[in-house]
Chains A and B, each alone.
Chain A
Amino acid sequence: MQKIPQRQIHKYLRHDKKFPHVWCPGCSNGIVLGATIRAIAELGFERDNVAMVSGIGCSSRMPVYADFNTLHSLHGRAIAYATGIKMYKPEMEVVVITGDGDGTAIGGNHFIHAARRNIDLTVILINNYIYGMTGGQYSPTTPHGDNSTTTQYGNIDPTFDICKLAIGAGATFVARTSAYHVDESKSFIMQALKHKGFSLVEIISACPVIYGKLNKKGDAPAMMKSMKENIIPVKQYEKLSQEDRINKQTRGILFHDTEKKEYTAAYQELIDSLKKPEEESNE
């Protein structure tokens, strides 16, 4: 009997959980989980020093399979729980896995205020343009005119640009990429983990079973190919004319600021500044 070469990912999975995992065939969530695990493994973090927090949704099933400190919390409240962990243990690396509906519709308020405080969380937002788990309702990021089970004649809502929202709210590391660009996702997640401050990595993913079926986007490989063509680097996007920019999206690091003060560090400074006069008075 010959032993199979163990991939890095298998060392970080919970093998006593039910495999194959719960996601549909061709769903990009597994690819993002792989990229996240590779990033953490490459940085050499200990498992006990990483916390993975999620809310409710397809993507939020991810911590169930990953062997870190994990927390599967309320719908939209993942960032609130993660803030609690980070305030109590500032040395811990806190990764929040959230989806487009979970993070920006129901948990939108927590999202903008965590960005405003610039607390050191790494938010990986998996954007599949739809609420997948509950049966295909339209989400804030569903493109204008697309179908879902609650917008059967086309969505009339304008679309949310999550990266611009995060930059406006005060996040200090904002990047966007797609599930097809796995190496880029891995490197962005690594940079986001290293960055001290609120960091957002938006990963556009394919939902072939619900979103793809309702909008006739084809099967999983076809959706991945369209991602490869339509999600282009920022420099390439700027060269395009206004007409060519329809249906195209940018990828890359959109914003990076290292000067803004991190929240837990500022809190520790406040504690220290209040301690000093007390100690002196005791002496």
Chain B
Amino acid sequence: MPKTHRPEDVERLKVGTIIRKDDKHSKMEVEIPEVKSTGDYNKAPVYIYYDWCKKCGICVAFCPTGALGRRPDGAPYVPHPEKCIHCEMCDKLCPDFAITGAKRKEK
């Protein structure tokens, strides 16, 4: 079996961040604020796959509510998870398939 790059073999460490085991670049220290209010949705509104991200900034520029922000190295993170409205604009506009919206919780 060839080694796959599927995001299944990724581990979620903190809210708003996922880091792959063998990823050296995403080991930088980043402050990630705690989630204040989550509503009916999952705690983390988006999952970011830093291995595939090329730091173009499209997801941050077109986030309609400003839930996404940029780290010092240019990659996105989620400073305001409570602002996310699950429009999935970042998901659709990401050219690298590196960010995906968490599904809404079914009531």
Contact = CB atoms under 8 A, between A and B. Distances in A.
Interface in B1-24: 2-8, 10-12, 18
Contacts of B57: 26, 219-221
B96 interface: yes
A21 interface: yes
Contacts of A2: 12
Candidate in B4, B47, B57, B98 with the most chain A CB atoms within 10 angstroms: B57
A25 interface: yes
Contact of A224 (B4, B12, B61, B97): B61
A2 B52 CA distance: 19
B102 A5 contact: yes
A182 B56 CA distance: 17
Please classify the interface of chain A as helix (H, G, I), strand (E, B), loop, or mixed, using the class held by over half of its residues.
Answer: loop
Contact of B8 (A3, A28, A29, A220): A3
A31 interface: yes
A220 B60 CA distance: 11
A183 interface: yes
DSSP majority for the B interface? loop
Given A15-B6, A16-B4, A7 B100 contact: yes
A13 B97 contact: yes
A10 B7 contact: yes
Contact of B94 (A15, A24, A30, A219): A30
Interface in B24-76: 47, 49, 51-58, 60-62
How big is the A interface, by class?
Answer: 35 or more
B72 to A, nearest CB: 17
A4 B93 contact: no
Most buried by A among B3, B55, B97, B98: B97
Interface residues of B, number: 35
Interface string A2-36: 11111101100101100111011111111100110
A4 B56 contact: no
Given A2-B12, A31-B93, A224-B62, A15 B5 contact: yes
Contacts of A219: 56-57
Contacts of B4: 15-16
A4 B58 contact: no
Contact of A25 (B3, B56, B60, B97): B56
A275 interface: no
A4 B103 contact: no
A2 B61 CA distance: 29
Contact of B52 (A19, A180, A182, A221): A19
A19 B7 CA distance: 11
A258 to B, nearest CB: 30
A246 interface: no
Interface of A: 1-7, 9-10, 13, 15-16, 19-21, 23-31, 34-35, 180, 182-183, 208, 219-221, 224-225
Given A1-B11, A221-B62, 19 more contacts: A4-B49, A5-B47, A5-B102, A6-B8, A16-B2, A16-B5, A19-B5, A20-B96, A21-B96, A24-B54, A25-B54, A26-B54, A26-B95, A31-B92, A31-B95, A34-B92, A219-B56, A224-B58, A224-B61
13 contacts: A4-B10, A4-B12, A4-B18, A16-B3, A19-B52, A27-B95, A29-B95, A30-B96, A34-B95, A221-B58, A221-B62, A224-B62, A225-B61
